[in-house]
Each structure stands twice: as structure tokens, then as C-alpha cells.
Structure 1
Amino acid sequence: MNLLLHRISRMLPLLTMSSLAAAAPAPACSGTLYLSFDTGNMRHAELIADTLARHHVKATFFIANEKTLRGDHALDDGWADYWKARAKEGHAFGSHTWRHGSFREDVGGQVHYRLMDGNTVTLDHTAICDEIRKPDARFRELTGRGLDPLWRAPGGRTTPNALQAAESCGYRHVGWAKAGFLGDELPSETYPNAMLVERALANLRDGDVVMAHLGIWSRKDPFAPMFEPLIAGLKARGFCFATLPRS
């Protein structure tokens, strides 16, 4: 009995210290960053989701029905479990348009919209809203919840008519900060991962929207594994992360 009491008495300081550490408030943030991801080819979707979960970081996903590396599309039934899991984790979601086209120029009250196959179509107000709303409706079918009232034009390229139409049908456009362009779509031969991480750590500031992709077709050395050191480094600088506000 005396031996047991002795062992317990030796453990008490450790238990107390552990309890205090668990109860200690998180350090105050020196700034907030808004990490966001566009769909891309979804090659590293699982890796990025695991990294975010491990670091308890919430992000905003902008979703288009893009072709993925496995040959389907990002809003096909095969991705339902992925999106359900992200929704359950508390991430936010916006539209990245349905066909991931490029808003080129206004023509009267319409917009020239260049598709991924190189063809250009002309969209009126109703068609612009449909292009933005379609991912919203499909996401609801897959997950049971709609998108947040946010959208991001592919490439960040907008026109006055496109912005006006989107706003009138309830979607606020969100781009990214200059320093928030992580460069994961740039050639890795001239923009190696270490350079991109170093640049982000040096230049990101409070309130910046950060943009990357869940997979890029062209980059030879993928950037996705760099989110581990990048997030750790930004937290070490005192940054916290939040989802983009709805309005």
C-alpha cells in the first residue's frame, strides 16, 4: 500500500501540469489568414484535407465541376463522401462556376465566356447566374447543404457584368491577396517549393486571402506536401486561420 501511495504521489505533479497545459488558453492571434482552395484536378485533395485536420485549420473551398486526375469530375457522385467529410469538419464552400470558363469581356449586357475546350459562348444575366448556381445545387444534392453565398471566377478574372449578375443572384466575389497567391500552378523548375514557402512566410499579412488548388495538372513537383511546413510556419508567426465570411 505504501509503495502504491508513493507512486501516486510522484505522478501528481505530472498530472497537474498536464491538466494545466490542457486548460491553458490558446495564444492570442497576431493576425488571421483565410486559406482557400480551388478544385483543380483534385489529385491532392485527400492529402490537403488530412493536413488541415491535423493542424485544426478551417479553409474555404471554391468548387467547379472540373475533370479530376482519376477521370471523373469533382462534383460526380464518386466525390460525395469527400465533400460530406469536409462539410462535417466545418469548412466553408463557394462556387467556382460549373464549367470553369473564363469571363473575357462584356458585350452590351452580356459576357463572353471562354470554355476549357477553347470555345467561347455568350452569357446573359440569367445564364451567368445559372453558371454560378449549378455547383451550389449539385453540392446540395451530394452533401445535404448548399454552398455559402460566395464565388470565385476562374483565374480571378471578372467583368463588370459578371460581377453585377452574380451579386444580384446572391453571390459575393472573392479573389485573393497578392501575397496570398501561393504559386502552386507555376512551373516548379523556376518556382521550387522551398522558394514559394519562404515567400509566403515572409509576405503574408493579417487579413490576406490565400489561394491554392487541390491539384494542378502542369506542375511537376507538387506543392501540396508543403502545406505541412507552411501552416506550421504561419502558426509560429502567430497567425490563426478562419473561413471566409459569408458577407
Structure 2
Amino acid sequence: MIKKTNFCVNHPDVVASDTCSYCGKAICYNCRMPMGGWIFCSFQCLTLFMVQNTIKALFGLIGALFRPLKKLKRVSWRGWAEIVLTAGLLIGAFYLRRLTLEMAVLKGDLYRTAPAAVDSLFIEPPKIIEPVREGMVRESTLNIRGEAEPDHIVSLSVNGKPVEAVLPRGREFVFEKVRLHRGINRLEVRAISPSGGFSTLQTLMIDYASPTLSYLSEPLNRGSLLRKEVALTFDGGGSDNAADEILNALKKEGVRSTFFLTGQFIRQFPRTVRRIVREGHEVGNHTWTHPHLTTYAKNRRHQTIEGMTEEILHQEFSKTASLFKLVTGKNMAGLWRAPYGEINAEILLWAANAGYKHVGWTVGRGWEESMDTLDWVADTTSQAYYSAEEIVRKILQYGKQRRHGSNGIITLMHLGTERENDFPHLRLTDIIAGLRDQGCRFVTVTEMLE
């Protein structure tokens, strides 16, 4: 029997994932309001559900209280006297309390104590640590991390709808994979204390927009000139003999980077690939076979090379991404780097159609202004060969000669080398320390794009 597909009552074109525990209407993930193990479609249904269950509980309690009265016909005159006396005492206590409150109002006592009671309702608000700033994102989900008092309940609302409530672990709270709607999302976080006190709202405005073809087909060579951010990137092709030392340096310095790997690299060095992912780095697509895409090597022109088609390029992407998923269990970032940096408008559009944005490296006039280290060149007699010291000096001098310093630069190094000595990657810690001295913060390419 074919299972019937239900659609959300609020979004008729979206498949429903749940039903409301009160009204039974089908709702999608974005409309669900989880509370205490139940799912509701609105605050109204949640309220009615709570009222309904409260009434049931009260009737159950009343029934339990009156059940013993069935045996009253067997009670002696002394028992009846005790019942009447107890009832009289309860009624007297009620009216005495009411009289006391009325007298307090007349004397103004309640006015004097009211401000303190109101002040006690407000507690210290939670601190949001991630995301670090408002703005636009291109992912449909978002993680929210922060700090609050250990015994406070922290609640999250998206666009006015309660989404989730959590208890901090220690002082840290996390809302994972919060679903965003297209457009502006108003995220509100509030803390509630055990005594009923509540904090002011902490608000974030996040704009979610899926990547457009025009955005994806625009290559990235440098990030924002207004932020002191640097992206260290590494290409993996035919060798990984420098990978462990690079990863050791990044781990020691607490730096997350972006790696562009070919499918053949992933197939040859799965252990290295898994370590890259395990240590929190980002991985983009470097094609499967590392082919030439343009005629630049032949005629210094970036004309699409004969035989290269959109279908072939997509196969290069999909095979690499599929193997990466198989090896790591993770998805590749929607970023790619062309082999040899060979791109043109046609190739960029083909890649955009596959969901990939091209990431190059910061370029300028000549080697001194290019953040391609050429660390792969091993022939010391070649004009393209530069010593490790020259490479370090170039990167650190770049920011000292320009108005915007090293803001937004993207560097390029490789996970393999044919050099026998004077290895540039062994100076990676010097590069990191020098850029930090200039006030730079290290980010992944995706973080740079946010």
C-alpha cells in the first residue's frame, strides 16, 4: 500500500514532517514547535493543550478527594464534628488572609514592596558567542552557541515562534542546526530562572539567501579589505608527504584552513583526508584527475580546451565529492579550485551550475604580489624557485606595503613536495606568528565569505 504524502497546512508546497499534538494538522519542520515531548503548530494549540490537560488533572484530583465521602454514612457524630471544625478553620484562614491583604493595601505596604518584586524578575541575559556577527548566510541551518547560568532555561524563538528550550551544560548552551527561512530571520534568545525570573531578549538578525548563479560564477581571490582575516589554503594532488607536518603546525597554532583535494588524492591518501576533516578543516573540490581546462599552457590564453565540456567537468566534481563522502561521511564545501588556476567565464558558469564557487589566491603584479608560494617548484636553477626564507618574507611584507595590509588575503601552499631540503611548509608557524603580529585572524574560506 502506498503511503499518503501529507503537506504542511501553512506551506502547501512543503511535505509535512509532523502533526500537531492538539489539532492534528500536518506541519513541516519550519512550523513545528516542540515542547515537553509534544509537537504543536502554534502557540494557541500549545496553550489549549495545556489548559485541557490541566482541567483533566483537576477533575482527577477532585474525584480522588470526594471518593472517601462515600464512606461518610458510617462516620460517628464525633467524626462529623471534626470534619465541620476543620472546614471552619480553613474558611476562617482564607478570610483572615484576605483581610490581611486588604489592610496591607490600605497602609501602602504592598506599594513599598512592589518595586523589589518587579526588579527580582529580571536576570542576567545569556551571552551569544556564535555566530559572532549578524549578516547574510548561504546555508539553511545555523548553530547558535552561548553562555548562561547553569540552572537557567535558555529558550530560542525564530521570527516570533518558539523553537527550542535547553539547559546549559556547565555554562554553555547550544542550539544545533536551527532552520532558517529565506530572507530575514529574527533569532531571539532568552534565559528563564527557576524562580520565574527572565532576561531581556538577545536578538540576532540573519539573512538567509541561497547562492545564485551570478554569485557562484564570480571567482574569489581575496576576502573583505575591511576585516583582518586571512585564509591559508592547501592543494592536494599527487603527494601527501608534507601533509602531516602541515596539519601538526595548524593544530599547534589552533588554525582552521581550507584544503582543495583531487579525487585521486582522496583515493590514495584516505588516512590524511580523514585527519583533515577530524581536525576541523574545510575541504573543497579540486576535480578528479587535475586536468587542464584552458589552453593557457599552450598559447597564454584562457580558451576552454578542446574536448572539455560541462558534462565532463561535472563528472570530475561529482566523482570527487562522492568519494569524499564515502571516505569521511561528510559533504564537501561548495567551493572548488581549478587545476593550474585555469578558468574563464564559461568554465566558471559550468561550475556554478554544479553548485561550486571558484576560489583562487590573492594575485598582483609579479611573484612579490602573488600569494601563490610556488612551494612545489623543486629545481633550484629554475626562475620559479624561491627559498623558504623568501616565501616567508614575501607573505609577511605584503601587508606592510599596502593601505589595507593583509586583510582578506588567500595564500596557496601544497600538501606534497619534491624538494630535498629548504621546505617552505616547515616555516608555516613563522608565517602564522608574523601575520598574527599584524593583527590578522585566520579563517576558512567559507567564514571569509560570510
CA distance in 2, matches of 1:75, 1:86: 11
Alignment of 1:110-129 (within 5 A): 111-112=304-305, 122-129=307-314
Q: Residue 427 of structure 2 corresponds to which residue in structure 1?
A: 226
1:38-49 alignment, distance < 5 Å: 38-40=235-237, 41-49=239-247
Alignment match, 2:180:
none
Determine the C-alpha separation between the residues in 1 that align with 2:240 and 2:413: 12
Counterpart residue number, 1:58: 256
Determine the structure 2 residue equivalent to 1:22.
Answer: none
- Structure 2: how far apart are the matches of 1:233 and 1:188? 27
- Which residue pairs with 2:294 in the alignment? 104
Select the structure with the greater relative contact order (CA < 8 A; seq sep ≥ 6). 1
Retained in 2: the 8 A contact 1:187–1:220? no
Q: 2:390 aligns with which of 165, 180, 195?
A: 195
Cα distance in 2 for residues equivalent to 1:123 and 1:195: 37
Structure 1 stretches of 4+ moved >4 Å: none
C-alpha deviations, 1:143-199, integer Å up to 9, x for none?
Answer: 001210000001111122211111011000010002321231245635111111011
Tell me, in whole angstroms, the C-alpha distance in 1 between the residues paired with 2:420 and 2:234.
Answer: 16
2:354 matched residue in structure 1: 169
* TM-score normalised per structure 1: 0.74
Equivalent residue, structure 2, for 1:92: 282
- TM superposition score normalised by structure 2: 0.42
**Paired residues of 1:185 and 1:219 also in contact (CA < 8 A):** no
- Residue in structure 2 matched with residue 239 of structure 1 by the alignment: 440
Residue 83 (structure 1) aligns with: 273
Match of 1:213 among 395, 406, 414: 414
Partner Cα distance (1:175, 1:200) in 2: 16
C-alpha deviations, 1:3-26, integer Å up to 9, x for none? xxxxxxxxxxxxxxxxxxxxxxxx
Query: Cα distance 1:125–1:219, how it changes in 2: closer, same or farther (>3 A)?
Result: farther
Alpha-carbon deviation of 1:80?
2.5
**Of 145, 155, 158, which residue of structure 1 is paired with 2:340?**
155
CA separation in 2, counterparts of 1:30 and 1:131?
Answer: 34
Provide the secondary structure at the position in 2 that maps to 1:245. Answer: helix
Aligned to 1:37: 234
Q: Tell me the percent identity.
A: 28
Q: 1:188 to 1:59 in 2, by over 3 A?
A: farther
SS in 2 for 1:54: helix
Aligned to 2:269, the other structure's residue is in SS state helix
Q: What secondary structure, in the 3-state scheme, does the structure 2 residue paired with 1:123 have? A: coil
For residues 40-74 of structure 1, give each alpha carbon's deviation from its aligned partner in whole angstroms, at most 9, with x where no partner exists: 421100000000000000000000135xxxxxxx2
C-alpha distance in structure 2 between counterparts of 1:199 and 1:65, whole Å = 31
Cα drift, residue 84 of structure 1: 2.0
Q: Which has more radius of gyration? A: 2
Contact 1:30 1:238 in 2 (8 A): no
Q: Which moved more, 1:229-238 or 1:52-61?
A: 229-238
**2:163 corresponds to:** none
| Secondary structure in structure 1 of the residue aligned to 2:294 | strand
Q: 1:69 aligns to what?
A: none
SS at match of 1:94: strand
Change (3 A) 1:219 1:95: farther
1:34 aligned partner, one-letter code: A
Q: Give the Cα–Cα distance (whole angstroms) in 2 for the partners of residues 203 and 176 of structure 1.
A: 14
Unaligned 5+ segments in structure 2 are: 1-225, 297-302, 364-369, 400-405
User: How many positions carry a matched residue from both structures?
Assistant: 200
Gap runs ≥5 in structure 1: 1-28, 67-73, 113-120
User: Residues 89 and 164 from structure 1, CA distance in 2 versus in 1: closer, same or farther, beyond 3 angstroms?
Assistant: same
Structure-2 separation of matches of 1:100 and 1:217:
18
Q: What letter is aligned with 2:445? A: L
SS of structure 1 residue aligned to 2:340: helix
Cα root mean square deviation, aligned: 2.4
Q: Shift of the alpha carbon at 1:231? A: 1.1
